[in-house]
Amino acid sequence: MRTAAARYQALLSLPGARAPVIASALGSLAVGMAILSIILLARESTGSYGAAGRVVAAFGLANAVGAVSQGRLMDRLGQPRVLRVVAVGHLATLTALVVAADRQAPTWLLALCAAGGGLTLPQSPAAMRSLWNSLVDDPERRQTAYALVTIVFEVSVMTAPVIVAGLVALASPAVAVLVGAASAAVGALAFAATPASRKWRGEVHDVGWLGPLVAAPMRTVFVVISAFGIALGVIQVAVPAFAEDHGSAALGGLLLGALSAGSLVGGLVYGARTWGGSPAARLPLLMLLLGLFLALLALAGRPLALALLLFPAGLLIAPVATVGSTLLDTVAPPGTATEAFAVMIMGIVAGNAAGNALGGALVDDASFAVAVVAAGGVAVAGAAWALARRPQLSR
């Protein structure tokens, strides 16, 4: 454990590293708060988890587009100029969502406001991943750095549902949405003000409108990571619905916290040591295990049992994300550092959005058990795709 702590401490001690890591953590907190708080806000306004799933899906799909657009712009214009603009836009559009929900606006208008918030969600984690490329030269230390990006994200996401649950219990879902939006804006502005972000410059490249997806191995990673996102998106809706059926929708935040706690532990363990074999070999195995653990959630009959099953499922989340991030160093075209990671985020977020919609429909029309088994099946399909394309990823 001391060796693991020393590896992470050494990274944070690098000149210019600590401040952007803290700022990106604040931005990551907003990501974790947004999904659950918007689901609860839309559910309160419309009275339907199906409608809530469509609203948060609009947020996620627009965020997918925004992630790639922001990544491409940061590679060309630098990070501060982009982050400052989207920070203001994000706060404004989610404020509009809260006003629309308070007036019980139709679902399409809620979805439109949510899409604006997703489009402008500042991509601080992608910016941080690019900074590590310039701060760390050694490949082994860089893998630990990528694990740290995932760990920071997971700590924030683990904390976020608890914060949302507390804000909903003490105030309302609207307050939770506004707090998350403010966190995103402040984190982005603070990140843009750091010396490391101001000095960072992307490499000149011309890969066309497809960006890093012009490379076939990059498309393979994108497909697998999208399946990963879909599976988690189903869980994000199914768990709060399970909690509501057992007495309190706000309890869903605490249950999702168990999933994030597992991811945090998994990320710490994964990033603290050097693993044998290639990332291309580890990706299908990790996805397969994730699918099996997600399907096992169907066995839960009570909230405590679900929490106990969510934690081991969460152990696989951060390692999958870290392996995907590590593969970008070899599968993405040169000069697309920020955009490639943004494309990976797009895959996760777009998958989340599709999973949110699918999860809402399955919970409304079938059951929690059907929803989580479907989530497991999607993850297993992603594992099969990664295994079939393993030679391509290994080149």
pLDDT tens-digit map of 22-51: 888 888 888 778 888 898 899 888 888 778
Question: Which of residues 312 and 78 earns the better pLDDT score?
Answer: 312
The band of 208, judged by pLDDT with boundaries at 50, 70 and 90, is low
**Residues in CB range of 244: below 8 A, 6 or more apart:** 252
- How high is the pLDDT of residue 111? 92
Q: Do residues 231 and 379 touch, judged by C-beta distance below 8 A?
A: yes
Nearest to 21 by CA among 138, 191, 164, 143: 191
Write the single-letter amino acid at 32.
Answer: G
Residue in the structure block whose two tokens are 């299908």: 284
Percent of the chain predicted with pLDDT > 90: 26
| Paired tokens of 118 | 């997703």
pTM given for the model: 0.72
**Which is nearest to 265 in space by CA: 328, 203, 315?**
315
- Three-state secondary structure readout of 306-351: HHHHHHHHHCCHHHHHHHHHHHHHHHCCCCCHHHHHHHHHHHHHHH
Question: Regarding the domain delimited by 16-202+211-394, which CATH topology (the fold level of the hierarchy) does it fall under?
Answer: Growth Hormone; Chain: A; (1.20.1250)
pLDDT at 219: 87
Going by pLDDT thresholds of 50, 70 and 90, the confidence category of residue 125 is confident
Q: How high is the pLDDT of residue 5?
A: 65
Q: Where are the domains of the chain?
A: 16-202+211-394
Percentage of the chain modeled with pLDDT above 70:
91
Distance CA 75, CA 302 (A): 48
Q: What is the pLDDT of residues 166-198, one digit of tens each?
A: 888 888 899 999 999 999 999 999 999 998 888
Which pLDDT band holds residue 367 (cuts at 50, 70, 90)? confident
pLDDT digits (tens, 9 = 90+) for 7-24: 777 777 777 778 888 888
